[in-house]
Amino acid sequence: MDGGSAGSAVARSKWGKVRVGSRWIAAVPPAIALGMVAAGALGVVGTALELVPEHPVVSGIAVALATVSPLVGLVWVLLVDRSTLEGAADRPEDSVEASWYEKAASGAFTDILLVTGLGCTALAFAPIEVAGLHALMAVILVAFASFGVRYAVQRRKG
């Protein structure tokens, strides 16, 4: 529901609100409920897949517990109408933070191309085998690190 405008009629709050029909309700309770349902579903999948064959139920519970927090957060991000959040700018696209984000993202993209390119070249000649999962995790870490550092630099510059 992000992107819609609540206008000035809806009071803003710290955690925002979500529109249900013609009413506005606090965004946190439905986010917690839906996040827990999604985590439970993942737990069932984890149990069915028998991630730990000796203890399939325990592994399913572990999956559910590990994913419930990020899933609640993700559902909140998807549900909340940002115009109902305290302190949220009405036109974030015109704010300086959007400029910092774009510069950091474009710089991080260049860094990812550079690092993956150099990494591929090095691995082509080096007698090392790298698992695909580890390589992708490394790419994600480089992306996060590059973006984070570049955004921090932009923010410091003002």
Interacting residues toward another protein by CB under 8 A: 89-97, 99, 157-158
- What is the distance between the alpha carbons of residues 27 and 84, in angstroms, rounded to a whole number? 10
Q: How far is the CB of 63 from another protein (least distance, A)?
A: 38
Closest to another protein by CB, 55 or 155: 155
Q: How far is the CB of 74 from another protein (least distance, A)?
A: 24
Residue 72 near residue 35 (C-beta atoms within 8 A): yes
Closest to another protein by CB, 50 or 102: 102
Closest to another protein by CB, 23 or 91: 91
Containing 156, the helix (H) or strand (E) segment is helix 132-157
- What is the distance between the alpha carbons of residues 27 and 43, in angstroms, rounded to a whole number? 24
Closest to another protein by CB, 98 or 136: 98
Q: How far is the CB of 34 from another protein (least distance, A)?
A: 30
Q: How far is the CB of 158 from another protein (least distance, A)?
A: 5
- What is the distance between the alpha carbons of residues 158 and 147, in angstroms, rounded to a whole number? 16
SS3 for 18? Answer: strand
